[in-house]
Amino acid sequence: MPLADGSTKSKSSHVSTIVRIVVAVAAVSLIVILGDWDVEKLKIAFRQLDLLALAAAIGLFLLANVVIGCRWRLLLRAQHISVGLGACIRIHFLGLFYNNILISSVGGDLLRAWYITKHTHKRLEAALSVLVDRIVGLFTLILMAVSFYVLFPVEGEAGELDFSVDMDVAGKLSQYRWVFVAVGVLAAAVAAGVIIHPAGRKKLHLAYARGASGFERVFLAIRLYCKKPLTMLSAIGLTFVAQSLPILGFCLIGRQMGLEVPIKYYFVFFPIGWVLGALPISPAGAGVMEGGIVFLFTRAPGVTVEQALVLALCQRVMFLLASLPGIVIHVMGAHLPAEREGEL
């Protein structure tokens, strides 16, 4: 019977992975379908890309992740967990690599939570530090976007954002209406099957129980860290620094491409895109982040769809290249305590 349970869980995991991959493909497909692309303009936008600017942005992103490693160690020390700074940074880069293949852009947090517990006997507190680390990051992203939008007004036409969507969405979607109808019917059938079948209802109850348990752990983590206000303020400060570094890199890329977008909007649009990418609906937030960046930047005056797409793709390339140290760390076992380096 345990074997059957394991087989069922494995199948469920595979189905979940397939669904998220389908979501990612669908998101990318919608960008292609709804985008008013011009191949020649896209080629021109790529030619405007300065590789030195991209390299500088990657360097800033690497530095930002070192700062995030420092933030995580600060949160661990608040719970009297002694883990070296080097170990925190190495495990963070390991998680960064797995963010590219697991659900959403924060899937690597599961690996971080698992491996940090190998460095301390305070396993629950160590795992909760990963959760708090992510909450601090998301909170600061939202705070940054709101603060820059409200506190730094931009006068003139350069500061005006056009959120009127004139993409003939209905017309373009109508060309694929039977695909959407088929997907809708299939989704309805699957949902009905899950609800009707006893095993499906059991899984729904299990998902609810896990969700409730997750919220309980979040509450516990928040309560633990609320007793350390200076630590939390320091963590937020480090987060502002860490998030600002790659955004400045994107500003450099945009300037070299000829984008006359006020710097304020980089500090608004990218945080929003990263928050969207954290939603657990596609591997590494693929398609979701890119779609958000393209949509937001094309609301700014003078930015073409092609330029926004190149900027979004630069972001994805930067994420992939900067995460490569993570796989080296994993292969070498550098994420484990010295006495356990032979393990995976």
Report if residue 333 sits inside a domain: yes
Residue 154 has pLDDT above 70, yes or no: yes
Burial class of residue 28 in the structure, from the number of CB atoms within 10 Å of its CB (0-12 exposed, 13-18 middle, 19+ buried): middle
pLDDT band at 342 (very low <50, low <70, confident <90, very high): very low
Mean pLDDT of 11-37: 51
Give the percent of the chain with pLDDT over 90.
28
Phi and psi at 103, nearest 5°, equal: -65, 145
Task: Give the span between the Cα atoms of 130 and 333, in whole angstroms.
Answer: 20
Q: How many domains does the chain have?
A: 1
- Answer for the pair 298, 37: CB distance below 8 angstroms, yes or no: no
What pLDDT, in 10s, does the model give residues 49-107?
888 999 999 999 999 999 999 999 999 998 888 899 999 999 999 999 888 776 655 66
| Residue that is written with structure tokens 């599961």 in the block | 110
Asked whether residue 151 is assigned to any structural domain, the reply reads: yes
CA dist 96 and 324 (Å) reads 9
How far the first Cα of the chain sits from its last, in Å, is: 28
Domain that holds residue 139: 2-169+226-340
Alpha helices in the chain (DSSP H): 2-34, 39-47, 51-78, 85-98, 109-116, 123-151, 169-174, 177-196, 198-226, 229-257, 263-277, 288-297, 305-322, 324-332
Which residue matches tokens 């909760």? 128
Cα torsion 200, 202, 207, 211 to 10°: value is 150
Q: So what's the pLDDT on residue 88?
A: 94
Is 23 part of a structural domain of the chain? yes
For residues 336 and 235, which has the higher predicted lDDT (pLDDT)?
235
What is the predicted pLDDT for the residue at 330? 84
Whether residue 176 is contained in a domain is answered as no
Residues 114-125: tens digit of each pLDDT: 889 888 888 888
The verdict on residue 184 lying in a domain is no
- Evaluate whether residue 242 is within a structural domain: yes
pLDDT tens digit sequence for 239-269: 999 999 999 999 999 998 888 889 999 999 9
d(CA 281, CA 17): 10
Alpha-carbon distance 243 to 237, whole Å? 10
pLDDT surpasses 60 at 27: no
pLDDT in tens, 280-304: 666 667 778 888 898 899 888 888 8
Answer whether residue 224 shows pLDDT above 50: yes
Please give the mean pLDDT across all residues of the chain: 79
With bands split at pLDDT 50, 70 and 90, how would you rate the model's confidence at 4?
very low
Q: Identify which of 80, 65, 14, 334 has the alpha carbon closest to the alpha carbon of residue 343.
A: 334
The answer to whether residue 198 sits within a structural domain is no
If we measure between CA atoms, which residue out of 231, 172, 241, 218 comes closest to residue 30?
A: 172
Average pLDDT of the segment spanning 126-141: 91
Residue 51 lies in a domain: yes
CA distances from 118 to 107, 112, 127, 220 (A): 19, 10, 10, 21
Q: What secondary structure, in 3-state letters, does 60-115 show? A: HHHHHHHHHHHHHHHHHHHCCCCCCHHHHHHHHHHHHHHCCCCEECCCCHHHHHHH
Res 193: pLDDT? 78
Q: Is the CB of residue 140 less than 8 Å from the CB of residue 99?
A: no
